Amino acid sequence: MAPYGQENGLTRIGYSVDDGLENDKIADPRLPLLPDADLKDKIVLLRVDHNVVKKGEILDQYRIDVTLPTLYNITERGGRPILMTHVGRPYDKKNKTVTIRKDESVDAIVAYLQRKLRIKFVVPKFNYDEKDGILDIDTSINWLITDLRKRKIGGIYLPNTRWFAGEEDKGEKLERFAIQLAGLADVFVNDAFGSWQPHGSTYHITKYLPSYAGLCMQDELYHVEAVLNPTRPFIAIVAGSKYDTKIGPLNQIYKKVDKLVLGGVIYNTYLCAKYGVKIAGVQDSDIELAKELVEQDKTQGKIVEMDILVETDTLSGRFEGKYRAVNVKDFAPGKTYNYIVDIDPLSLESEDVLQALNSAKTIFVNAVMGFMPNFWHGTSKLDEVIDNNQSAKKYFGGGDTLQAFKSLHPNLYQAALDNTNYYLFTGGGTVLKVIEEGDSMGLDTVRALIENKTKLQSENPK
Ligand SMILES: Nc1ncnc2c1ncn2[C@@H]1O[C@H](COP(=O)(O)OP(=O)(O)O)[C@@H](O)[C@H]1O
Ligand SMILES: O=C(OP(=O)(O)O)[C@H](O)COP(=O)(O)O
């Protein structure tokens, strides 16, 4: 940060401390940044990625904590904040329905913020439709905005953005939602690095308000450059359950990594595509998508396979006699398996796997290897093996990945926050998307901010 200097030159009266932060920590000057915004007495709509609630509870507050500098900056400069985040995936893409469940509300986040900041947030109540979710932002919210302006409340926190009918819509409902959202505020700030999907509250809103990147977003975009230009060998470990949004990027990422390790639902689908086996829970349509990866690997051989997996008869728990180890070496066309829910830690003792992980100089981890909370053993061992490689830069990303890391290795997680060999990204899918695009400014949500700045400049030339 720039050193303190009084305009009249009286620097004797106080001094500033070097915080080690670079002042211009952003790769691209086209990006409009929060410090450029005029915030005084403005209502600021702040999109964050506080998607940390599981069954009504917060397991890891990290994604909330890293947005507090932005919140402080906004209020310190006279802005009045309206926050919004999505929680979970309440929108069913197939049936086009929204399910509103209390345990996917923002309540736990608001309670945490209130305890942490000692200020009052209010969550507005809106009517909703059983299938479509919230159709309109009721004008009664203006009462709350008046109280926000008068500083009777510290902030407004909107309901889960994915409860709104327009958030993931593509047509009229989306436009209506974006316009209604914009009508609440003077300025939009996007601090939701993890929310890369171009939805109403992350992307379309920028058509209607002056828009800026928040401080967390700025920081993440700066650090993601290291993954875009990695010291080689570069290995990515991608697992978890979000097959639908991760398989696309993975086909491109394959071209950019030296080695790729898969786990979770993604690995199950890949194994079905490669070996012609059937694994419970894997859809035929998904297997088709994984075939491109199989084809690429036939000639390039970058995928390092974990051989020993855990099969279970039931997803409802880990019951003795109901789960067992299976070996990929025994896979043959037509064989069927029950749910495969973890990597056996023994897989991480194979020579190929150890060689790939130990020789890497850059490691990107978006990887919960097993079905949590019962099948955690593979993830735990993976985190240990990665930590053993002391010469690699280690980048962890993803809400669940960080939650698992924190709960399985609390001391290591704590140490990683202060260790320059580690960096924890708030979004895993976002980093995958950036690698796919090959450009940190290529994310739809970031491009939208840049386009907004260009549009404002052309409307108000200096
Ligand atoms: N084999 C599996 N079958 C079902 N779910 C799995 C499996 N492996 C991992 N998961 C689940 O994947 C989730 C994490 O996936 P995802 O959201 O894609 O990760 P992240 O948030 O780190 O990007 C965890 O809740 C975990 O229980
Ligand atoms: O948890 C998130 O991403 P992540 O699983 O990549 O960490 C973000 O909140 C994005 O959620 P989404 O993948 O449902 O859009």
Q: Hey, is 342 helix, strand or coil? A: strand
Please calculate the CA angle 290-296-302 and round it to the nearest 5 degrees: 100
Identify the H or E element spanning 309: strand 308-312
Ligand 1: nearest atom to the Cα of 341: 1
Atom of ligand 1 minimally distant from the CA of 367 = 22
Query: Distance of alpha carbon 4 from its chain centroid, rounded?
Result: 35
Q: Where are the alpha helices (DSSP H) in 233-323?
A: 243-256, 264-275, 284-300
CATH class of the domain defined by 22-222+442-459? alpha beta
Q: Residue 391's pLDDT is what?
A: 97
Angle at 444 (CA atoms; ends 126, 230), nearest 5 degrees = 130
Check if 265 has its Cβ closer than 6 Å to any atom of ligand 1. Answer: yes
> What is the C-alpha R_g of the chain?
23
* CATH of the domain spanning 230-426, picked from 3.40.50.1260, 1.10.3720.10, 3.90.1310.10, 3.30.70.20: 3.40.50.1260
**Ligand 1 site, residue 249, Cβ cutoff 6 A:** no
Give 391's Cβ-side CA count (13 Å radius): 9
Angstrom distance (rounded) from CA 274 to CA 198:
32
Which ligand is in closest contact with the Cα of 203? 2
- Residue 271's contacts (CB-CB under 8 Å, 6 or more residues apart) are 277, 279, 328, 331, 340
Which pLDDT belongs to residue 23? 54
Q: What CA–CA distances, in Å, run from 287 to 224, 266, 269, 280, 299?
A: 30, 10, 6, 12, 20
- Give ipTM to 2 decimals: 0.97
Q: Are strands 53-54 and 57-58 parallel, antiparallel or unpaired?
A: antiparallel
Binding site membership of 242 for ligand 2 (Cβ less than 6 Å): yes
User: How far does residue 240's CA lie from ligand 1's centre (Å)?
Assistant: 3
403 CA to centre of ligand 2 in angstroms: 13
- Report the nearest-CA residue for atom 5 of ligand 1: 371
Note whether 307 and 350 are within 8 A (CB).
Answer: yes
- Tell me the whole-structure pTM to 2 decimals: 0.95
Which of the ligands is closest to the CA of residue 340? 1
For ligand 1, whether the C-beta of 372 sits within 6 Å is: yes
Q: Which ligand 2 atom is at minimum distance from the Cα of 431? A: 6
Helix (H) or strand (E) holding 432: helix 428-437
Mutation test residue for ligand 1: of 247, 312, 400, 406, the one with most atoms within 8 Å of CB:
400
Phi-psi region of 222 (alpha: psi -120 to 50; beta: other; left: phi over 0): alpha
Residue 189 is which amino acid? V
Phi and psi (nearest 5°) for 189? -125, 125
Q: Is the CB of 244 under 6 A from ligand 2?
A: no
pLDDT value, residue 275: 98
What are the domain boundaries of the chain? 22-222+442-459, 230-426
Contact 160, 87 (CB under 8 A): yes
Atom number, ligand 1, closest to the C-alpha of residue 397? 22
Task: Using the mean position of ligand 1's atoms as its centre, give its distance from the Cα of residue 282 in Å.
Answer: 14
Strand partners, 237: 261, 365
**C-beta of 197 in contact with ligand 2 (< 6 A):** yes
Q: Order across the sheet with 211-213: list the strands.
A: 121-122, 155-157, 80-84, 43-47, 187-190, 211-213
With a cut of 70, list the residues of the chain below it in pLDDT: 8-11, 22-25, 27
The closest of 374, 376, 386, 432 to 413, measured between CA atoms, is 386
Q: Give the Cα separation of 125 and 290 in Å (integer).
A: 42
pLDDT digits (tens, 9 = 90+) for 321-361: 999 999 999 999 999 999 999 999 999 999 999 999 999 99
Decide whether any atom of ligand 2 lies within 6 Å of the 399 Cβ.
yes
Q: Are strands 155-157 and 80-84 parallel, antiparallel or unpaired?
A: parallel
Which atom of ligand 1 lies nearest, measured to the CA of 340?
1
Cβ of 309 below 6 Å from ligand 1: no
Residues 219 and 213: beta-carbon distance below 8 Å? no
Spacing, Cα 340 to ligand 1 middle (Å): 12
State the alpha helices, DSSP H only, in 37-156.
62-65, 68-76, 107-117, 141-149
Residue nearest to atom 14 of ligand 2 (CA): 89
- Ligand 1 geometric centre to CA of 169 (Å): 25
Measured in degrees and rounded to the nearest 5, phi and psi for residue 417 equal: -65, -25
**In angstroms, rounded to a whole number, what is the distance separating the alpha carbons of residues 215 and 329?**
48
Whether the CB of 223 sits within 6 Å of ligand 2: no
- Identify the helix (H) or strand (E) that includes residue 399: helix 399-408
Q: Is the CB of 383 under 6 A from ligand 2?
A: no
C-beta separation of 37 from 214 below 8 A? no
Tell me whether residue 61 is exposed, middle or buried, using C-beta atoms within 10 angstroms of its C-beta: 0 to 12, 13 to 18, 19 or more: middle
